[in-house]
Amino acid sequence: MSHHSKSKQILVIAALVTLVALTLLPFYMTIMMSQKTNGEIINHFWALPEQLHLDYYTDAWKYIKIYIYNSLIVGAVAVLGVTWLSSLAGYVFSRLDFSGKRVIFLLIIALMMIPGIMTLIPSFLWYKEFPFVGGNDWLGRGGHGFLNTRWVLFLPYIAGGQIFGIFLCRTFFSNISESLFEAARIDGASELQIYFKIALPLVLPIIATLAILTFVGAYNDYIWPLITVSDKNVQTFSVGVTKFTADGNLQQGQAMAGFVMGSIPLIIVFAFGMKYYIQGITQGAVKG
């Protein structure tokens, strides 16, 4: 290897290490501050904690555990709904012929061009005025339509997540050789059997990618839960943790401990799903 190539490689490595350090620095500082008193944060921001305050985590957990639980429930339901409906619709659009298929698909894709903020007020009014009566302790009692129920979180996340999901799944289903499906039809397999036993296993990395994106999007969403949910028993982590940190009687370390614990589910999802996520992303670069 020439001197010029070595220098170039060193520069690339240094740049990558710098980027990684800058990415991890905020999380590192959050962990450090979760073990400091208010005085330490103000006067010795960059210093290590003088002593550990593990009680900050137990104090924060008592308050935010309901919000983390709600976010996990909402994220799991959104993942199940989006991945199933998107993969099914993607298979239909890629492998079946029916009247108006192209027009319907173009209309779905057109929805990707509409900023979500433009539909925020109409969506809020629709869910507010929907004639929904009743409820239960788990779904939420409601009051005005779907507001203050889990339905107001489940339905928009599933419906909104399908737009990109259908586009993604259709693209990858289209790259699978048609001869594989024809052989299955000749053997007498129905379309549902082909979908479940042939098509779906072949695009599992794409489904995993879509699942991770859906879960992270639902877990991190702030605006929609803020305006549609005020019931603590239904509220999600992104909004709930801001109410927790707004308590003037708290140590900032307790607030930071809440942020750290709230990020753990996302870290776990990426830790176990990163392999499939990378496969799904890189699979698009290979022509099927």
117-167 residue pLDDT tens? 888 888 898 888 877 655 555 566 566 778 888 889 999 999 988 888 998
The beta-carbon contacts of 91-95 under 8 Å, at least 24 apart in sequence, are 91/169, 91/173, 91/195, 91/199, 93/166, 93/170, 93/173, 94/169, 94/170, 94/173, 94/174, 95/173, 95/181, 95/191, 95/199
Q: Where are the domains of the chain?
A: 62-283
pLDDT reported for residue 232: 85
DSSP string, 213-237: HHHHHHHH--HHHHHH---TTT--H
- In this prediction, residue 114 carries a pLDDT of 84
Contact 165, 210 (CB under 8 A): yes
- Confidence (pLDDT) at 142: 60
Q: Taking the model in full, what pTM does it have?
A: 0.85
Which phi and psi angles does 140 have, rounded to 5°? 105, 140
pLDDT per position as a tens digit, 189-240: 888 888 888 888 888 888 888 999 999 999 999 999 999 998 888 999 999 8
The answer on pLDDT for 91 being more than 70 is: yes
Of residues 169, 198, 153, the one with CA closest to residue 86: 169
Amino acid 287: pLDDT: 45
DSSP 198: I
Q: CB–CB of 220/274 below 8 Å?
A: no
Highest mean pLDDT among 47-51, 186-190, 262-266: 262-266
- For the domain made up of 62-283, the CATH class stated in words is mainly alpha
Task: Report the candidate in 210, 231, 229 with the shortest Cα–Cα distance to residue 221.
Answer: 229
